[in-house]
Amino acid sequence: MFNNTIKFLILLLITPSALGDTIYLTSLDWAPYSGKQLKEQGASVAVAKAAFKVMGHDLKVDFFPWSRAIKNASSPTSKYVGYFPEYRSESEDFTFSNAMGQSPLGIVENKSNPIVWKKTEDFSQYKLGVVQDYINTKELDDLIAKGVIKAKAVTSDLINVKKVAGGRLDAAVIDANVLAYMIKSNKKLSSVKDKVQMNSNILKNKELVVAFNNRADGKKWLAIYNEGLSKVDIEKIMAGYLQ
């Protein structure tokens, strides 16, 4: 009996997950980075889970429409300590983690009518689509807010891609990996996938991060998560999902 107790205590010491906590984050269906039906729930979720696991903790991710994912993570009574994947920005409610991958943010256009642009202001001459509550680039978002660029906001990338294919938009902001995955996997684009392409110019290669709330628990898990990130091979994990 005594020996069995010692063995049990040793097992606890060498398996930190046995005493670890479960962390709750929100996300959205944004393949290949995140999605309820994806393998390991997507590339970004796989990275986040690995980072927490190496620190002895488990991650549980619940999926919502983007606006709701942010709202749930910001509620002072919520079990969620943050949301992801997000782009770094100015925020009073959230603090952002170290980078957990890269997002090549660019423009989807109609193959038969490609757009030409060199600077962000050039989008003022086009009918441009964005996704509601998504952060783009600061320069683009500022120009949209000032009315210099009159962008149409919708609730998903899928809607924008369809609009571009149908000529209702000249172009739309989208991550290149997201578009590639949609064209390859989304049956709703099967009839129009050959009509769209990424513009050759990229807006910005953006860092993907986790946004932790500014409560005490959010700050605690931010520090733990960042330490975990430093111990995992982010590029290797991401590569398995972005092929």
Same domain membership, residue 163 and residue 197: yes
User: What single-letter DSSP state applies at residue 232?
Assistant: S
User: What single-letter DSSP state applies at residue 32?
Assistant: T
pLDDT at 243 over 80: no
Query: Residue 159 half-sphere exposure, CB side, CA atoms within 13 Å?
Result: 10
Same domain membership, residue 83 and residue 31: yes
Name residue, tokens 């060498």.
Answer: 14
Query: Residue 210 half-sphere exposure, CB side, CA atoms within 13 Å?
Result: 36
Same domain membership, residue 154 and residue 96: no
What are the distances in angstroms from CA 56 to CA 9, 20, 92, 122? 16, 5, 29, 49
Q: What's residue 240's pLDDT? A: 87
Same domain membership, residue 79 and residue 25: yes
Same domain membership, residue 178 and residue 234: no
pLDDT at 16 over 50: no
pLDDT at 72 over 90: yes
Instruction: Tell me the mean pLDDT in the region 173-199.
Output: 95
Same domain membership, residue 94 and residue 58: yes
Percent of the chain with pLDDT over 90: 88
Same domain membership, residue 137 and residue 71: no
Q: What's residue 8's pLDDT? A: 47
Specify the number of domains making up the chain. 2
In this structure, of 26-30, 75-79, 146-150, the range with the lowest mean pLDDT score is 75-79
Tell which wins on pLDDT, 59 or 19. Answer: 59
The helix (H) or strand (E) run that includes residue 83 is strand 82-87
pLDDT at 17 over 70: no
CB 209 within 8 A of CB 44: no
Same domain membership, residue 235 and residue 200: no
Helices assigned H by DSSP within the chain: 2-14, 43-54, 66-74, 138-145, 157-165, 176-185, 216-229, 234-239
Same domain membership, residue 146 and residue 30: no
pTM listed for this prediction: 0.87
What does residue 15 show for φ and ψ, rounded to 5 degrees?
-125, 85
What are the distances in angstroms from CA 85 to CA 1, 33, 147? 49, 7, 28
Same domain membership, residue 168 and residue 231: no
The CATH number of residue 217's host domain is: 3.40.190.10
> 158 lies in which domain range?
103-205
pLDDT at 82 over 50: yes
For residue 89, give both structure tokens.
Answer: 């920005």
In this structure, of 1-10, 21-30, 173-182, 187-196, the range with the lowest mean pLDDT score is 1-10
Is 169 in a helix, a strand, or coil? Answer: coil
Same domain membership, residue 21 and residue 62: yes
Instruction: Tell me the mean pLDDT in the region 214-236.
Output: 97
Same domain membership, residue 110 and residue 181: yes
pLDDT tens digits, one per residue of 96-138: 999 999 999 999 999 999 999 999 999 999 999 999 999 999 9
Instruction: Tell me the mean pLDDT in the region 193-214.
Output: 97
Instruction: Tell me the mean pLDDT in the region 226-237.
Output: 97
